[in-house]
Structure 1
Amino acid sequence: MTTSVSSQTAQPTVALFVSDLHLQASLPATTAAFLAFLQTHAVHSRQLYLLGDIFEYWAGDDDLVTPYNRQVADALKAVQAQGVELFWMAGNRDFLVGEAFAAAAGLSLLPDPHVITEAGRTITLAHGDAQCTDDVAYMAFRAQVRQPAYQQQFLSMPLAQRKAIIEGMRKTSQQSNQDKSMEIMDVNADAIDALFAQTGATTLIHGHTHRPALHRLDGGRLRYVLPDWEYDVAAPRGGWISLTGDGQLHRFDAAGMEIG
């Protein structure tokens, strides 16, 4: 069952949550959808949380010289200029976003995981890749590339070289993922339990898996999974989650219709 955005309760929108847009210049419809989302929805919220993989990849903050990247940063800055607080959590594709991009886009960088309390509700936020512990090869790769020494060495390379390396990694990842089951690439139940225990919250919002859903777990715990965005296809997909002033969470699809 879906309802239109306009039928949502009159409660003010406290926060919006999105992830996995995988923005890139080769996907103009997806880019246009995100820019429209910012001006149609984000500007009417108090806060916007970007929970990882907003870009298909990020080679370093010096890539702000690329017009497309600057366009996205400027669009985010325009939302912040209208009084919206913006928050960014690294994904597995854009974990090299740093303080220069944060300043250009008018946002604050968050650790993963991060706990917020808004509208009387405590929510754990995560990208979700750290909980995919069944994918042993990916977890080893993640541990390597998240090391400060590794990142410092990588960022010391010329930008063009970094982009070439990333492109090679993307192709390798696509090939290896074809041989992995969806279960292996999904979050691990024990890892999710550990995250709930670590943070003490009973609500979790994450992305990464591209398997949008609301999972009702034991003990009244709720796990919301954000959708990935892809509007450059015949059947567009995307969406977001909103938190309203009454503490309720609402899920929306690619067409901006509320999912009941």
Structure 2
Amino acid sequence: MTARNKIYFASDFHLGAHPRSTTRERELRIVSWLDTIKADAAELYLMGDVFDFWFEYATVVPKGYIRFLGKLAELADLGIKIILFKGNHDMWMFGYLKTELGVEIMDNDLVIERGGRTFYLHHGDGLGPGDRTYKVLKKIFRSRFCQWLFARLHPNLGIGIAQRWSAHSRIASGGLEDFQGEDKEWLVVYAKSILEKQHYDYFIFGHRHLPLEVDLPKNSKYINLGEWINYNTYAVFDGTQLTLRQWER
């Protein structure tokens, strides 16, 4: 029997992203990948924007994603620890997924230590210099008053508005991101600023939509997990080494 001793990290599935016709094929890819890791996974960290939009009304959640959610339930029932980060697209996750699947929901950053290595984990939105407009919007969207107002909308209207909004997002445009250089990559700059105060062996983020491995000072490393529309990339820690990989069926 294979030992469950590996830790997996993935981000930015954007299930439900425009055009929605592509979601089923992407969902099947993700489910197939989850099937391959369930034999040796001890923990699974899904680092935000798993859904292109998510909002939990008192008695309604967005339809779809049954295969994906069922697979998460299967992994949780096997004893695999699942941590689901809120991203900028699915920040309105509350208690439904925790209750139904037994996953942990993370609002912000998380620091863990495994195998003598320290990991700084965050979706990546709103960190580092710049992007001031989004940082203001994030505070508004995460406020309880804004969530209360949105919940007053009928789900057909509220979810419809969100889907039209996401149709104009950068992930919906289909373009590939380019590496901007360490001095212009906000998450690299942010990681370096954290290292001035506290050492971590690995900084793992999503949000950037570009798989990246960047060596940082003090033998630290920045990993961006990419996304699953173009790259199908993930990271795995085997107890000794963290590697960024691309999944192919």
TM range (shorter): 0.7 to 0.9
List gaps (5 residues or longer) in structure 1. 1-9, 231-235
TM-score when scaled to structure 2?
0.83
Please state if 1:119 is matched with 2:119.
no
Corresponding residue for 2:217?
A: 218
Give the alignment of 1:84-233 within 5 angstroms: 84-131=80-127, 133-174=129-170, 186-196=185-195, 200-230=199-229
Deviation at 1:43, TM superposition (A): 4.3
Distance 1:58 1:127 in 2: 16
Checking the alignment, whether the CA contact within 8 Å between 1:214 and 1:224 is kept in structure 2 is yes
Of all paired residues, the percent bearing the same amino acid is: 20
Distance 1:59 1:16 in 2: 26
Q: Report the secondary structure of 2:126's partner residue.
A: helix
| Cα gap change, 1:228 to 1:65, in 2 (>3 Å) | closer
| Cα gap change, 1:99 to 1:214, in 2 (>3 Å) | same
Distance 1:96 1:43 in 2: 31
Distance 2:194 2:155 in 1: 36
Corresponding residue for 2:245?
A: 252
Deviation at 1:63, TM superposition (A): 4.3
TM-score when scaled to structure 1?
0.80
| Cα gap change, 1:173 to 1:210, in 2 (>3 Å) | closer
Superposed CA offset, 1:140-176 (max 9, x none): 222211222212222232211211221232245459x
Checking the alignment, whether the CA contact within 8 Å between 2:119 and 2:201 is kept in structure 1 is yes
Q: Report the secondary structure of 2:137's partner residue.
A: helix
Give the alignment of 1:40-119 within 5 angstroms: 40-60=36-56, 62-64=59-61, 66=63, 68-119=64-115
Letter in 2 for 1:77: A
Letter in 2 for 1:46: A
Please state if 1:22 is matched with 2:18.
no
Superposed CA offset, 1:75-111 (max 9, x none): 2111110110111110111111111122212201123
Give the count of matched residue pairs.
237
Corresponding residue for 1:238?
A: 232
Distance 2:80 2:148 in 1: 32
Greater Cα shift, 14-23 or 42-51: 42-51
| Cα gap change, 1:71 to 1:156, in 2 (>3 Å) | farther
Q: CA RMSD in A?
A: 2.8
Which structure has the highest helix share of the two?
Answer: 1
| Cα gap change, 1:63 to 1:93, in 2 (>3 Å) | farther
Checking the alignment, whether the CA contact within 8 Å between 1:16 and 1:243 is kept in structure 2 is yes
Greater Cα shift, 35-44 or 165-174: 165-174
Distance 2:3 2:192 in 1: 32
Checking the alignment, whether the CA contact within 8 Å between 1:20 and 1:208 is kept in structure 2 is yes
Distance 1:197 1:146 in 2: 29
Distance 1:198 1:74 in 2: 41
Checking the alignment, whether the CA contact within 8 Å between 1:239 and 1:255 is kept in structure 2 is no
| Cα gap change, 1:195 to 1:203, in 2 (>3 Å) | same
